[in-house]
Amino acid sequence: MDNQDKDHGAPATSPDAGSQSPNDYPVGYGRPPMVRRFKSGEPGNRRGRPRGSKNRKTIVRKIANEMHTVTEDGRQRRRSTLELMLLALRNLAAEGKTRNFRVYNKYLAKFEPQTRSKLGYLLVPPELTEEEVRAEAEEMNKEGRARDLADARKTSRQSAGQSPEIGGPGQSARAGRAPS
């Protein structure tokens, strides 16, 4: 214990100092044996990704952005591979190929600006006369009163210990409603 630091259990001198032998160095978590440590200047993963290699995303972008010269309506134009693929997909969809139509619509929905989805519609009911407004209000009041009365009956049965599914007098046993 005389050679160890009291706080961390590490040697008092660093393992890189030439005065200490590798046998005196404590091995543990975060302290691999000296023999197994990476040598300076050597990569840790020798079989890893080589420098300059490209991943799939880079390759796809490169191919999609390649420019090609095509003849359209007697004129030569330069278009990217992606443009040509989308035009071919559109033409096949227009011919009635359902699978191509679905794929084309999927791409349109994904990349088309979604202006309509952000807008809402305001539905304005037709103007009603005073009599029609009063008749609708009375109808709604009647429905509301009937609903309130049914809710009150249901609560009174539940407080009395009856389940609403088990019919009381004048109720159907199936749905807990009065027979119609």
Per-residue pLDDT of the chain (180 residues; tens, 9 = 90+): 444 444 444 444 454 544 556 567 788 898 888 888 888 888 778 888 888 889 999 999 999 999 999 998 999 999 999 999 999 999 999 999 999 999 998 988 888 766 655 667 778 777 888 888 888 888 888 887 777 777 777 776 676 665 555 544 555 445 455 554
Total residue length of the chain: 180
Q: Is residue 28 part of a domain?
A: no
On whether residue 105 sits in a domain, the answer given is yes
Give the residue numbers spanning the domain of 88: 79-113
**In a domain? residue 103:** yes
Q: Within a domain: residue 94?
A: yes
Contact yes or no for 64/79 (Cβ under 8 A): no
> In this structure, are residues 27 and 36 in contact, taking their beta carbons and an 8 Å threshold?
no
Task: Supply φ then ψ for residue 90, to 5 degrees.
Answer: -60, -45
Q: Which amino acid is at 43?
A: P
The span from the CA of 101 to the CA of 97, in Å, is 6
Q: What is the pLDDT of residue 94?
A: 92
Q: pLDDT value at position 161?
A: 62
Position 22 in a domain: no
4 within a domain of the structure (yes/no): no
How confident is the model at residue 119, as a pLDDT?
Answer: 67
Residue 118 identity (one-letter amino acid): K
The bridge status of strand 67-72 relative to strand 75-80 is antiparallel
Residue 83 lies in a domain: yes
The separation between CA 8 and the C-alpha centre of its own chain, rounded to angstroms, equals 46
Q: Dihedral angle at the C-alpha atoms of 86, 89, 91, 97, nearest 10 degrees?
A: -160
pLDDT score at 64: 92
The answer to the question of residue 109 being in a domain is yes
Buried b (16+ CB within 10 A) or exposed e, 130-155: eeeeeeeeeeeeeeeeeeeeeeeeee
How many domains is the chain built from? 1
| pTM of full prediction above 0.85 | no
